[in-house]
Structure 1
Amino acid sequence: MSPIEAQKQIEELTAQLKQHNYNYYVLAMPTIADYDFDVKLKQLAELEKQFPEFADVNSPTQKVGGEVTKEFVNVRHRWPMLSLGNTYNEQELLDFDLRIKKAIGDNFEYVCELKFDGLSMSLTYGEGKLARAVTRGDGVQGDDVTTNIRTIHNIPKQLKKGDYPELFEIRGEVFMHRKAFERLNAERMENGEVPYANPRNFASGTVKMQDSAEVAKRPLDCFLYGFYTDKTYFKTHWESLQALEKWGFNINNSSRLCGDITEVLKFIEYWDKERFGLSYDIDGIVIKVNNYSQQQELGFTAKSPRWAISYKYKAERAETELLSVTYQVGRTGAVTPVANLQPVQLAGTTVKRATLHNADEIELRLQLHEGDSVYVEKGGEIIPKIISVNLAKRHANAHPIHYIKNCPACGTALERKEGEAAWYCLNDEGCPPQIVGKMQHFIGRKAMDIDGLGDETIEMLYKREFIRHISDIYKLHERADELKQIERFGEKSITNMLDGIEKSKQMPFEKVLFGLGIRYVGETVAKKLALHFKNIDNLAKATYEELITAEEIGDRIARSLIEYFESEVHREELEKLKENGLQFVVEEKEVTLASDTFSGKTFIISGTFENFSRDELKDIIEANGGKILSSISAKLNYLVAGDNMGPSKLEKATKLNIPIISDDDLMGMLG
């Protein structure tokens, strides 16, 4: 290879890998399989070795992971969080073992641990109390996510008395169990949100959320495995694991002490078969020299320790034929493509379908053609996905597959909003899957919770033209005699259904608002909107500026709300629901001032808090005579600042010399 070709290839690989790192570590949305990433990384490392003059100073071969995000406070790691060298084959493990023996002799042991597919985390404890939690970030510094990590049930906030040091750091992996992932992803799709590709991405996205109350609703888990302190506290890694468990930390019991590389290989082989039976994802095995003195002797490279390596399992892959691409229409109008495949065995199951996500996946990344032979992978993903196409088997006259232009259900031209990957059918009042989906969402447990009325009944009533809109549900009692004519729909079932419909009229405003199925307005957002605007009329006439002052309401939700209420069809439907007696007003509680301590004082609450939600702090301030403002100005008396507060607010308050107080300070002012 000529120097010019080498330089070009190094630049291309560097740019690609930097982007993939950003997608993986920051956006939590990887666009390349781990194996393919590692192949590219090795190619780059080899080229840099041959042509060091062209290597980028910030090359991905020298960096641990992604950039640090800007939403959280950046914290420098006391001990760098290095990544591990990895391999996919046995020979490289034997070579690793040989290097260890050459450096320290034959008298050593290994500890083998499952390599969890989650988000690496560093926890600092002072005097037995969790003081700080920081993500890996770029290995040198990471994001302070302490408030969010405190919501994870099995991470101790305060240790019981024990023989632990006064100050120490422990490292581990935050992850999500597959069943929790499936349930929460289903909820995202219900709310018109893009589903996460796998549990790892969902866990990572959750940890980076700005509202710790929302984080607490998502069942994250954590295994801990690394101990760091200033003084030598244990002789071996194995000894430290036993102590960590005794102190109350969640340690994975599958780890094993191995006498030699043969035992290591047996451990790897065992878990290659058994890993699919776990409730969480692992993508390999971590192998570490057990003795800490020997670890010190072996030392580190710029990027990773010489005394450890990870063996990564290749994701289960199979080759099969693409039979067709079909499309599903969700209740929000999002049109999702699905690949129909020649049935193939993969990871112990028969795979007939694979996710294709969106148009870009079909036309740009995969460039699918009719009858393509495709590679399907089932790694951390619950639903299999197409990784690539076997171009050698593509027929010369095969036609490219183009994403459809019109809705497969109603024929309406599809539209794609700027910045979104999905295409939508906007005929929400005339597209059957959307109409049925919205009504099914409305009657659901988290919305109106109508007893005696299920998804199948909604579909049947729609097909028989009993219902066309949500408001029609509340007219079904007028057609009770007609309902009795339906086969297998007995009088008792009809009575139960009509009673359930009548009872649902008492559901609070927040449930009705969630049930309307406005895009991006999930259960929590509906509750916050109801509390902020008090009734549907205030919400319907709110301007963009007024909407974004409400807690957790950003640009995307605000625009979706405005679009919804601008529709004459939606406004007419809301009037019909009002006439039927549904609740569109928050029941006002009689407020008695607890004191007039804050009388004449103004406050803004920003950030997240460990002991209170922002709404709770708002209630406390108002109950003591204070007033909440929507923007920082010279009229503001106090800024109540929590974790992860926006830097612009902090800067503006500082410039105006406005006192910045904590929630503890606020409570202290009340005595």
Structure 2
Amino acid sequence: MSRSGKESSPARRIEALREEIRAHNHRYYVLDDPSIPDAEYDRLLRELEQLEAEHPELDDPDSPTHRVGARADEGFATVEHVVPMLSLANAFEDDEVAEFDRRIRELLDVESVTYTAEPKLDGLAISLRYEGGRLVRAATRGDGQAGEDVTGNVRTIRAIPLTLVGDELPDPLEVRGEVYMTRSGFRALNERLAAEDHKTFVNPRNAAAGSLRQLDPAVTADRPLRFFAYQALAEAGLGDNQSAVLERLREIGFPVSSLVRRVEGLDGLLAAYRDIGEARDALDFDIDGVVYKVEDFDRQQELGFVSRSPRWALARKFPAQEELTTLRAIDVQVGRTGKLTPVARLEPVFVGGVTVTNATLHNLDEIRRKDIRPGDAVIVRRAGDVIPEVVRALPEKRRSDLPEWQLPEHCPVCGSHVELVEGQADARCSGGLVCPAQRKRALEHFASRGAMDIEGLGTKIIAQLVERQRVDDPADLYSLDVETLAGLDRMGEKSAAKLVEAIARSKDVSLGRFLFALGIREVGEVGARNLARHFGGLDALMAADPEALEAVEDVGPIMAAHIHEFFSEQRNRAVVQRLLDAGVTPQAESAEPAGEQPLSGCSFVLTGSLSSMPRSEAKKRLQALGAKVTGSVSKNTRAVIVGDSPGSKLDKARELGVAVFDEDALAALLEGRLPEA
């Protein structure tokens, strides 16, 4: 390259592109940690190809346009491919496919060409060598000339035959195909890795590559890897065309995609692209396009190769499912149940066939795990009709002054306190009775049969009352009159009068049903009755702290936290007071009398495995004797009953100085005797 060439603008851009693409190749093929979507990589490579074509004097044999991937990692032995594993030329539009078909017809001097159309699998290309019908070597594509010897790992993949089936097998035989991971397997693997505090994978392709290239084959064996064969080298003698070879590969033991089809001419190519594209979202594995191949091998030989690609094949890409864009801001939406969902506001980007401006971020834990911040460059994924999501941020492109995003402390809709419960990913608005986002659902629940049982107050009536701003919270129901209700759609005066009567009747209600009607998270009908019986009245319940709440039968720390949070929100307490002022009279339920049962007033916690009976049975028998059996240890716990392999509850008991009982002490308890601590 001349000195003057280096100084020119095209030369600088070409060199910059080469360096950037080499870096991305290393991350993609060697580190299994791509930093940009495939579509962005394709754009960089196409720009480089175009510039090199315009400036042939700047050609370099070491340019990424002359290679496929990256050299092997030092952790694996290097395998030289006898026949290079080349990449394919790409097409993105129908016109490019038409040009491919025209060029093939002209080179072969024929009016029509028969092709195979195959799904372009999004995994890791692999070459398998068989000698005497037995697998002797497996190698990755690498840079196309040489790859990594991953034989030990490939032998753990059950979809790949170790010994071929049938007689008269070619010897040696080299078969090429794609190792991939199913979408369901990918989700399960990531869930397991996250639970173990390990790094998760970005997508199934990344997971497949990372799993196959483990230095320990036992790790690969534990990963849900699959395989499809798509080629045998020409000298194998399995057939004289691609369809015949694929059928023969299937016969001798290789899985072959059922989506492969034989088509005629340009119309067949375009129809196959549409058909396979329509099937894409229903598959349990990722494909990112369709590969077209001239069917006949003799014609493939006649067409030959150009640069790093065969002339007789073309990869038609689907619209990108992942794209790079900028995260403008993170907003928070409040759902009908009060759940707060962070939503990404994006610089508009075309992905998955549509322009995307918003994407889900799931919850605060996901934002923290992915370290996503407003202002970040992010990768957005949209597959089919699935809601777009932000897959990852690119910290290497981040400005140093970008702060972590913080969840708001108050609901953006009603201003109530946002509740975050330890151990739960979701944050929720605590203003269940007053939040407009939750209004319809709260009213529907309040009027339901197990709650206030207001006959005739259904979802359609509630929707009209809310939309016409007649009702803001449950207390407003008790000020409705016949005239107001009769003005609703499909409501005459007679129906309105009946509904007013039903609302009035609901004022006399048991405390348990009233508590259930308030819609406190985790509090069902049984839990509400237990609370009512334990506290006996509404005032005592509203004043209870979490520790006192946990003393109630079947109330654990999470439910106790929700109850305490609900009554700590002053807006909720104001609605409860307005209900009472409107004449709603929750009938007090007496607390269970003390002293009638030998264990009445005693609270116990069970932990570990009991040898004498299941813990569930022990709990029932203790409760039958008047005891409370709770899920967490507090200073009010009478004793922790310990079986084999106890958990952290034993440590908590020792920390608080709570008595610890063994199974002999449990037997005494069940006889109605309280052992000495």
Using structure 2 for the length normalisation, give the TM-score: 0.56
**CA shift digits 1:537-572 (9 cap, x unpaired):** xxxxxxxxxxxxxxxxxxxxxxxxxxxxxxxxxx99
Percent sequence identity is 32
Q: Does 1:365 align with 2:370?
A: no
What is the CA–CA distance in structure 1 between the aligned matches of 2:107 and 2:20, rounded to whole Å? 36
Q: Which amino acid aligns with 2:558?
A: E
Displacement of 1:382 in angstroms is 8.0
Any idea what SS the aligned residue of 1:130 has? Answer: strand
Shift in alpha-carbon separation, 1:315–1:50, aligned structure 2, 3 A: closer
Any idea what SS the aligned residue of 1:221 has? Answer: strand
Q: Which amino acid aligns with 2:78?
A: N
Q: Does 1:22 align with 2:121?
A: no
What is the CA–CA distance in structure 2 between the aligned matches of 1:283 and 1:503, rounded to whole Å? 57
Q: Does 1:480 align with 2:487?
A: no
Q: Is the 8 A contact 2:327 2:373 kept in 1?
A: no
Counterpart residue number, 2:44: 40
How many residues are matched? 443
What is the CA–CA distance in structure 2 between the aligned matches of 1:33 and 1:123, rounded to whole Å? 28
Q: Which segment is superposed worse, 35-44 or 172-181?
A: 35-44
Displacement of 1:65 in angstroms is 1.1
Q: Is the 8 A contact 1:342 1:352 kept in 2?
A: no
Counterpart residue number, 2:330: 324
Displacement of 1:287 in angstroms is 0.2
Any idea what SS the aligned residue of 2:116 has? Answer: strand
What is the CA–CA distance in structure 1 between the aligned matches of 2:126 and 2:133, rounded to whole Å? 18
Counterpart residue number, 2:183: 178
Displacement of 1:491 in angstroms is 6.3
What is the CA–CA distance in structure 1 between the aligned matches of 2:299 and 2:36, rounded to whole Å? 36
| Runs (5+) with no aligned partner, structure 2 | 334-340, 394-398, 410-418, 426-553, 565-600, 607-617, 633-639, 663-677
What is the CA–CA distance in structure 2 between the aligned matches of 1:456 and 1:113, rounded to whole Å? 57
**Mapping of 1:190-589 within 5 angstroms?**
190-228=195-233, 230=235, 232-316=237-321, 324=330, 339=344, 353-354=360-361, 358-359=370-371, 362-365=374-377, 376-379=380-383, 384-386=388-390, 402-404=402-404, 459-460=558-559, 479-480=603-604, 492=620, 506=644
Any idea what SS the aligned residue of 1:61 has? Answer: helix
Displacement of 1:276 in angstroms is 0.6
Displacement of 1:159 in angstroms is 1.8
Any idea what SS the aligned residue of 2:72 has? Answer: coil
Q: Does 1:9 align with 2:10?
A: no
Displacement of 1:361 in angstroms is 6.3
Q: Which amino acid aligns with 1:21?
A: N
**Mapping of 1:611-650 within 5 angstroms?**
none
Q: Which amino acid aligns with 1:402?
A: L
**Mapping of 1:78-89 within 5 angstroms?**
78-89=82-93
Displacement of 1:173 in angstroms is 0.7
Displacement of 1:226 in angstroms is 0.5
Q: Is the 8 A contact 1:134 1:146 kept in 2?
A: yes
| Runs (5+) with no aligned partner, structure 1 | 328-335, 367-374, 390-398, 410-430, 438-454, 466-476, 483-489, 517-570, 583-671
Displacement of 1:22 in angstroms is 1.6
Q: Which amino acid aligns with 1:353?
A: T
Highest relative contact order (Cα 8 Å, sep 6+), 1 or 2?
Answer: 1
Shift in alpha-carbon separation, 1:340–1:5, aligned structure 2, 3 A: closer
What is the CA–CA distance in structure 1 between the aligned matches of 2:265 and 2:642, rounded to whole Å? 66
Q: Is the 8 A contact 2:201 2:207 kept in 1?
A: yes
Counterpart residue number, 1:611: none
Q: Is the 8 A contact 1:237 1:291 kept in 2?
A: yes
Displacement of 1:505 in angstroms is 5.5
Shift in alpha-carbon separation, 1:300–1:573, aligned structure 2, 3 A: farther
Counterpart residue number, 1:134: 139
Counterpart residue number, 2:75: 71
**CA shift digits 1:152-207 (9 cap, x unpaired):** 12111112232321211111111111111111111222222232111111111111
Any idea what SS the aligned residue of 1:209 has? Answer: coil
Q: Is the 8 A contact 1:80 1:140 kept in 2?
A: yes
What is the CA–CA distance in structure 2 between the aligned matches of 1:72 and 1:580, rounded to whole Å? 55
Q: Is the 8 A contact 1:362 1:401 kept in 2?
A: no
> Which has the higher Rg, Structure 1 or Structure 2?
2
Q: CA RMSD in A?
A: 4.8
What is the CA–CA distance in structure 1 between the aligned matches of 2:386 and 2:661, rounded to whole Å? 42
**CA shift digits 1:122-179 (9 cap, x unpaired):** 1111111111111111111111111111111211111223232121111111111111
**CA shift digits 1:349-401 (9 cap, x unpaired):** 997514766447644535xxxxxxxx953159988445999xxxxxxxxx999
1:92 to 96, 113, 118: 96
Q: Which amino acid aligns with 1:195?
A: T
1:109 to 105, 114, 117: 114
Q: Which amino acid aligns with 1:123?
A: L
